[in-house]
Structure 1
Amino acid sequence: MDILTANDRTGEFPRSWYADTAEQPAPQPVAVGDLACDVCVVGGGFTGLSAALHLAERGYDVILLEAHRVGWGASGRNGGQVSGGQRLDQDELEAMVGREVARGLWDIAQESVQLIRDLDARHDANATFVPGIIHADHKERFVAHSHAYARKLQDDYGYSAIRTLDRAETCKLVGSEAYHGGTLDMGAGHIHPLRFAFGLARACRSAGVRIFEMSRVTDLTEAAPATVSTEQAKITADHVILGCNGYLGNLQGRVASRVMPINNFIVATDPLPDDLVATILPDRLAVADSKFVINYFRLSEDNRMLFGGTESYGYRFPKDIAAKVRRPMEEIYPQLRGVGISHAWGGTLGITMNRMPHFERLRGNILSASGYSGHGVAMATMGGKLAADAVAGQAEGFDLMAQVPTTPFPGGVLMRWPLLVLAMVWFSLRDKL
Structure 2
Amino acid sequence: MKPSLLRSDTQLNTDSYYEASVRRPPTQPPLRGARRADVVVVGGGYAGLSAALELAERGRRVVLLEADRIGSGASGRNGGQAIVGYACGMQTLRAQLGADGARTAWALSLEAVRLIDERIARHGIDCERVHGYLYVADSARKARALYAEMDDLQRHYDLPVQWFEGAQVRQRIDSPRYVAAAYEPISGHLHPLKYALGLARAAQAAGVQLHEYSPARRLQNTAQGVRVHTDDGHVEADFAVVAGNCTLPEYGPGVLPTIHARIMPVGTYIVATEPLPAALADTLIAERAAVCDNNVVLDYFRLSADARLLFGGRVSYTTMTPPRLRATMHARLQAVFPQLAGVGLTHLWGGFVDITMNRAPDFGRVGQRVYYLQGFSGHGVALTGLAGRLVAEAITVQSDRFDLFLRLRHRAFPGGPWLRTPLLALGMAWVRWRDALGH
Question: What's the TM-score, normalizing by structure 1?
Answer: 0.95
Whole-angstrom distance in 2 between the partners of 1:234 and 1:137: 50
Using the alignment, how far apart are the partners of 2:214 and 2:310 within structure 1? 32
Which residue of structure 1 aligns with residue 52 of structure 2?
52
The answer to whether the 8 Å contact 1:113/1:378 transfers is yes
Give the match for residue 27 of structure 1: 27
Q: Partners in 2 of 1:75 and 1:279 — Cα distance? A: 29
Unpaired runs of at least 5, structure 2: none
Specify whether residues 49 and 267 from structure 1 end up closer, same or farther in structure 2 by C-alpha distance, changes over 3 A only.
Answer: same
Alignment of 1:190-209 (within 5 A): 190-209=189-208
Counterpart amino acid of residue 30 in structure 2: V
Which residues of 2 match residues 219-368 of structure 1 at below 5 A?
219-223=218-222, 224-245=224-245, 247-318=251-322, 320-368=324-372
Distance 1:277 1:410 in 2: 45
The residue identity in structure 1 corresponding to 2:221 is: E
Unaligned runs of 5+ in 1: none
* Secondary structure, counterpart of 2:269 in structure 1: strand
- CA offsets, 1:338-391, max 9 Å, x none? 421000001111000001111111111100011111111000111111111111
Which position in structure 2 is the counterpart of 1:418?
422
Aligned to 1:217: 216
The one-letter code of the counterpart of 1:95 is A
CA contact (8 A) 1:178 1:332 kept: yes
Query: 367, 392, 398: which one pairs with 1:394?
Result: 398
Q: CA deviation at 1:85?
A: 1.2
Equivalent residue number for residue 157 of structure 2: 157
How far apart, in 2, do the equivalents of 1:26 and 1:162 lie?
44
Q: Secondary structure at the match of 1:98?
A: helix
Mean alpha-carbon deviation: is it higher for 365-374 or for 412-421?
412-421
Which residue pairs with 1:6 in the alignment?
7
Residue type of the partner of 1:48?
A: G
Structure 2 counterpart SS, 1:64: strand
- 1:172 correspondence with 2:176: no
Distance 1:133 1:226 in 2: 42
Question: RMSD of aligned C-alpha atoms?
Answer: 1.9
Deviations 1:267-298 (A, max 9, x none): 00001123422321132011110111111001
Bigger relative contact order (CA 8 A; separation at least 6): 2
Cα distance, 1:293–1:183 mapped onto 2, change above 3 Å? same
Amino acid at match of 1:93: L
For residues 97-155 of structure 1, what are the alpha-carbon distances to aligned partners after superposition, in whole Å with 9 as ceiling and x for unaligned?
21111111101111000001111111111112211111111221222332233333233
Determine if contact 2:391/2:402 at 8 Å carries over to the other structure. yes
Deviation at 1:319, TM superposition (A): 5.7
Match in the other structure for 2:77: 77
* Cα deviation code 1:324-346 (max 9, x no counterpart): 31121111111122421000001
**1-structure distance, mates of 2:219, 2:76:** 26
Tell me which residue corresponds to 1:114. Answer: 114
- 1:316, CA displacement in angstroms? 3.1
Q: Alpha carbons of 1:264 and 1:9: their partners in 2 closer, same or farther (altered >3 Å)?
A: closer
**Cα distance in structure 2, aligned partners of 1:249 and 1:6:** 15
- Preserved CA contact (<8 Å) 1:8 1:14: no
Aligned partners of 1:171 and 1:178 also within 8 Å: no
- CA distance in structure 2 between the partners assigned to 1:403 and 1:349 by the alignment: 23
Say how many residue pairs are matched.
430
- Structure 2 length normalisation: TM-score? 0.93
CA separation of 1:88 and 1:3: change in aligned 2, threshold 3 A: closer
- Taking structure 1 as reference, are residues 123 and 143 closer, same or farther at Cα in structure 2, changes over 3 Å only? same
Alignment check: 8 A CA contact 1:3 1:315 kept: no
Residue 119 of structure 1: SS of its match in structure 2?
A: helix
Deviates more, 1:37-46 or 1:399-408: 399-408
- Structure 1 position 93 matched with structure 2 position 97: no
Alignment CA distance shift 1:27-1:319 (3 Å)? farther
| Percent identity of paired positions between Structure 1 and Structure 2 | 39
Taking a change above 3 Å as real, the CA distance of residues 381 and 124 of structure 1, as seen in their structure-2 partners, is same
Q: Is the 8 A contact 2:67 2:214 kept in 1?
A: yes
**Secondary structure in 1 aligned to 2:287?**
coil
Per mean C-alpha deviation after superposition, the further-off stretch among 180-189 and 84-93 is 84-93
1:400-411 alignment, distance < 5 Å: 400-411=404-415
| Structure 2 residue identity aligned to 1:119 | R
Does the 8 Å CA contact 2:291/2:302 hold for their aligned counterparts?
yes
The CA distance in 1 between the partners of 2:31 and 2:276, in whole Å, is: 44
Q: Verify the 8 A CA contact 1:259 1:350 in the aligned structure 2.
A: yes
Tell me, in whole angstroms, the C-alpha distance in 1 between the residues paired with 2:268 and 2:40. Answer: 29
Of residues 181-190 and 323-332 in structure 1, the stretch that sits farther from structure 2 once superposed is: 323-332
Distance 2:389 2:404 in 1: 14
Report if the CA contact (8 A) 2:13-2:349 is conserved. Answer: no
CA distance in 1, matches of 2:126, 2:190: 9
CA distance in 1, matches of 2:60, 2:178: 50
Q: Distance in 2 between matches of 1:50 and 1:353?
A: 25
Change (3 A) 1:179 1:40: same
Aligned to 1:123: 123
Alpha-carbon distance between aligned partners in 1 of 2:43 and 2:100, rounded to the nearest angstrom: 32
Shift of 1:83: 0.4
